[in-house]
A and B are shown apart, each in its own frame.
Chain A
Amino acid sequence: MKKLDKINNFYNDDKVIDACSIFGMMDTSGKCFSGKDIIKAIANMHDRGNGLGGGFAVYGLYPQYADFYAFHIMYFNHESRARLETYLEEHFYMLRAEEVPTNPTPNILKPPLVWRYFLKVRGGENSEQRQQDDYVVEKVMDINTRAKDAFVFSSGKNMAVFKGVGYPEEIAEYFCLEQYEGYLWTAHGRFPTNTPGWWGGAHPFNILDWTVVHNGEISSYGINRRYLEQFGYNCTMQTDTEVVAYAVDLLARKHGFPMEIIAKILAAPLWSEISRLPEKKQKMFRTLRQVYGSLLLNGPFTVIIAHQGEMVGLTDRIRLRPLVVGTKDSMLYLSSEESAIRLVCPHLDDARIPMGGEPVIGSLQNPLNSRKTAIQDPQSKTGEK
């Protein structure tokens, strides 16, 4: 069995500690755009990272394969690829397999092989979405903890994560991201303090179509992790980000909460704030905090959580890490620094700093400035190029 924690957390610390730059941009009308702007924006925050990790998540990327799980897998050699492909053939119906195009980049050293596969659950046509998703989660965990020299770093539909060791602008160049288009992009530049850097350990962190980019150190990690273990999540990567991703998966997919409520669990209102709410809300938020207290994320953090059709920015409840929000027409920008937003969009309609624990949500269901940009059915929109 492969020891992921040994790879990602080389010195076996409590967890991997890193700080970062994060950026997210979404066209809430569902229009797709290239990676040019986000690469420029994240490169502007170069000094917030140290070259040991950069990555991007893109949504609306594979409209022609929108019903297929798009697995992106890194390998150390072709033998491990051959082995894993046999495994994939066994467990999935494979429509297409191809090497992810790359572009030699001077500072990207010893890159792994990166392949992508468009998969369906074998015999899954008749089963419910949640069962198929559970199956995919199980297989991803299985591969990532057992398969030698192979690691699934993206497993959602119509989206992908591209990440590796290097500055984010170098990773973008390496994976030719300027050529891709999506309606929602997030990006991350990493500054780890206790890991030599490993391709799988860069952000965004992904499970199904959920991605998380994260800046911060979660002091409640120990209990968040123990709580999630009760629900069968194995935190093999030993990073805060992994905990956020699993918490969101549990709360959104399994317990059925909308993002507004999830934000109020991860960054719960103070008891004194709850006591000032109207009675019905008071009862609801008190109960949520009583039951999900172990998922309260304590300590400094900013996260951008994304999934199909939605992007959410959230800070800890006393906002110990930066988050700036910018809007322009139907575009929503989230960034560690305002300068990065202004660089790609100098004339914003609005720029502001949200309150600690206040979620900023961009959604295709609820587009910004909908009067200006009339929106069609968001589902069909996401598929357009």
Chain B
Amino acid sequence: MKTYLPPKFIIERDQYRCTQCQACVSQCSFDANYYDAEDDEVRSREENCVGCHRCVVFCPTNAITVRENPSSYRRNESWTHEAIEDIIKQSETGGMLLTGMGTDKGYPIFWDHLLLNASQVTNPSIDPLREPMELTTYLGQKPDMVKLTSDSTDIETEITNQIKLDIPIMLTAMSYGAISLNTQESLARAATEAGTLWNTGEGGLHPSLRKYANNMVAQVASGRFGVHSEYLNMARVVEIKIGQGAKPGIGGHLPGEKVSLDVSATRMIPQGTDALSPAPQHDIYSIEDLSQLIYALKEATNYTKPISVKIAAVHNSAAIASGMVRAGADIIVLDGLRGSTGATPKIIRDNVGIPIELALAAVDERLRKEGIRNKASIVVAGGIRNSGDVTKAIALGADAVYIGTAALIALGCHVCQQCHTGKCAWGICTTNVGLTKRINPNIGTRRLTNLLNSWSLEIKDMLGGMGINAIESLRGNRLHLRGVGLSDTELKILGVRAAGS
């Protein structure tokens, strides 16, 4: 069938600069560049280009420019390019449209409507280069009060296992199989070096990464891939995944082609079979079932691991979160509308869920109203782009954040949204042996630790500016936030005053 889709991108090659070296040909995993031997010339198949910029970056003479195809349809506010092209794709395939990464729609990003405070005159700002500045964060359940022995030299209260983070930024769940082993190794090593946690995702733990288990969150998802007693007991935190911001209410499907021998061993499923994660956890149809699974995992780990429960941010998040805390969760993870994924139906990604800022504000406030905020830590994920977002999330009430896309960008990702194709030219979201070699774990680890380090320096600077020298004094301290360009209702939900007031 002749496709009616125009190329998305135009690849321009400066013929004066191009040496016909064919680097672009070998780098492109989507076959968008090829060498015409007859004419001794490198050419492009632009209909295949996804705009990942692998060829642009690796062209030794900077001869290539990739830009969006400027040819346009008749202007129509309702029938946008995207609306038209989605219908063309569906009429040519008859299937659901799949995509990767988080939604690219223009839903409001509340981080960009929140502004931080700084000290002037009435209190001094603190210079983190000269004064101590503390980012240390402990995740886990805290008791209502501490009881001391009668001579006040020791505590009687036994506090449950607390997880120490040197920086309040963790690396989110990305499973082996969805991402390559080299990518996961980079994440695991960077988390270990930076004193934070990485997350296995739902694909189990590859034996080569066991040495990083001390900084690992072991995920237990609906497919239960790779879950066994040793896996749970090696981890620092066990996380039950109920939902994901990029696909609330939807399960997962790792195609059989990606289930290589190594992946099959790690996931404990036959090689080449599809790895299907059901939409719900089939042993959790209600809140009391969640409580049973939480306590089953606590029993399995002899009450030594905090149990985290991750949900997608949806309309009733506050009530759901309150139930999760009462069900025994030590950490609750909220994944927002802009959360990312390796594969999701496009219609779900772009239309289901709520922005993380609103969910976070509502959940933190609800837990405080009910007097149970200390019973669980709150971690948010989904669209954290920089240290400003992190700082604002903490001021809204988060204990820590998860980053996913930002970490992958540090490794090379250019957010081309082709994760679901398994052809990632940057070698991140693929199990193709040729492509996975493009991530060198030594370099990957360095790029990630650099990123975490620069964010932590920036957070310290912002804290010092506010006259605060410990992160816990910012957590939930919404007086350090002001809203711009927000409605009264939005300000009320965020619990933030308008700038200037």
Q: Is B454 part of the contact surface with A, judged by Cβ < 8 Å?
A: no
Q: Is B136 part of the contact surface with A, judged by Cβ < 8 Å?
A: yes
Bound: A296/B474 CA distance, A: 10
Contact across chains for A298 and B470 when beta carbons are under 8 A apart: yes
Q: Which residue of A lies closest to B146 (CB)?
A: A291
Given known contacts A216-B123, A318-B126, A223 and B157 CB-to-CB distance under 8 angstroms: no
Given known contacts A217-B122, A220-B477, A293 and B472 CB-to-CB distance under 8 angstroms: yes
Q: B415 to chain A: closest CB distance in Å?
A: 35
Contact across chains for A223 and B475 when beta carbons are under 8 A apart: yes
For A222, list chain B residues within 8 Å (CB).
Answer: 476-480
For A142, list chain B residues within 8 Å (CB).
Answer: none
Contact across chains for A219 and B123 when beta carbons are under 8 A apart: yes
Within 8 A of A (CB), among B284-306: none
A-B pairs with beta carbons under 8 A, tally: 119
Contact across chains for B472 and A294 when beta carbons are under 8 A apart: yes
Bound: A93/B211 CA distance, A: 70
Within 8 A of A (CB), among B451-483: 466-470, 472-480
Contact across chains for B134 and A270 when beta carbons are under 8 A apart: yes
For B136, list chain A residues within 8 Å (CB).
Answer: 271
Contact across chains for B159 and A300 when beta carbons are under 8 A apart: no
Bound: A298/B475 CA distance, A: 12
Contact across chains for A223 and B476 when beta carbons are under 8 A apart: yes
Contact across chains for B142 and A291 when beta carbons are under 8 A apart: yes
Contact across chains for B124 and A300 when beta carbons are under 8 A apart: yes
Given known contacts A219-B123, A271-B136, A293-B472, A300 and B467 CB-to-CB distance under 8 angstroms: yes
Contact across chains for B159 and A298 when beta carbons are under 8 A apart: no
Contact bitstring A121-140, B, C-beta under 8 A = 1, else 0? 00000000000000000000
Contact across chains for A318 and B123 when beta carbons are under 8 A apart: no
Q: How large is the interface on A (under 10, 10 to 19, 20 to 34, 35 or more residues)?
A: 35 or more
Given known contacts A230-B373, A320-B123, A287 and B152 CB-to-CB distance under 8 angstroms: no
Contact across chains for B132 and A300 when beta carbons are under 8 A apart: no
Q: Is B155 part of the contact surface with A, judged by Cβ < 8 Å?
A: yes
Contact across chains for A219 and B467 when beta carbons are under 8 A apart: yes
Interface residue SS majority, chain B: loop
Q: Mark the stretch among A81-89, A257-265, A345-353 that contacts chain B.
A: A257-265
Q: Is A343 part of the contact surface with B, judged by Cβ < 8 Å?
A: no
For B468, list chain A residues within 8 Å (CB).
Answer: 219-220, 298-299
Q: Is B270 part of the contact surface with A, judged by Cβ < 8 Å?
A: no
For B466, list chain A residues within 8 Å (CB).
Answer: 219
Contact across chains for A290 and B162 when beta carbons are under 8 A apart: yes
Given known contacts A230-B373, A270-B134, A298-B467, A291 and B145 CB-to-CB distance under 8 angstroms: yes
Contact across chains for B132 and A272 when beta carbons are under 8 A apart: yes
Bound: A320/B131 CA distance, A: 12
Given known contacts A217-B123, A318-B131, A294 and B475 CB-to-CB distance under 8 angstroms: yes
Bound: A283/B477 CA distance, A: 27
Within 8 A of A (CB), among B150-172: 152-155, 157, 159, 162
Q: Is B368 part of the contact surface with A, judged by Cβ < 8 Å?
A: yes
Bound: A294/B477 CA distance, A: 9
Q: Which of A227, A271, A283, A290 has the most chain B CB atoms closer than 10 A to its own CB?
A: A290
For B87, list chain A residues within 8 Å (CB).
Answer: none
Q: Is B60 part of the contact surface with A, judged by Cβ < 8 Å?
A: no
Given known contacts A217-B122, A222-B478, A300-B467, A257 and B148 CB-to-CB distance under 8 angstroms: yes
Q: B160 to chain A: closest CB distance in Å?
A: 10
Q: A126 to chain B: closest CB distance in Å?
A: 26
Contact across chains for A287 and B477 when beta carbons are under 8 A apart: no
Question: Using a CB–CB distance below 8 Å, which chain B residues touch chain A?
Answer: 119, 122-124, 126, 131-132, 134, 136, 138, 142-143, 145-148, 152-155, 157, 159, 162, 368, 371, 373-374, 466-470, 472-480, 497, 501
Question: Using a CB–CB distance below 8 Å, which chain A residues touch chain B?
Answer: 12, 14-15, 17, 19, 193, 216-217, 219-223, 226-227, 229-231, 254-258, 260-261, 268, 270-272, 280-281, 283-284, 287-294, 296, 298-300, 317-318, 320
The 10 closest A-B pairs by CB, nearest first: A222-B479, A298-B473, A293-B472, A220-B473, A222-B477, A223-B477, A219-B467, A217-B123, A14-B479, A299-B467
Query: What are 5 A-B residue pairs whose CB atoms fall within 8 Å in the complex?
Result: A223-B477, A256-B147, A293-B475, A294-B476, A320-B123
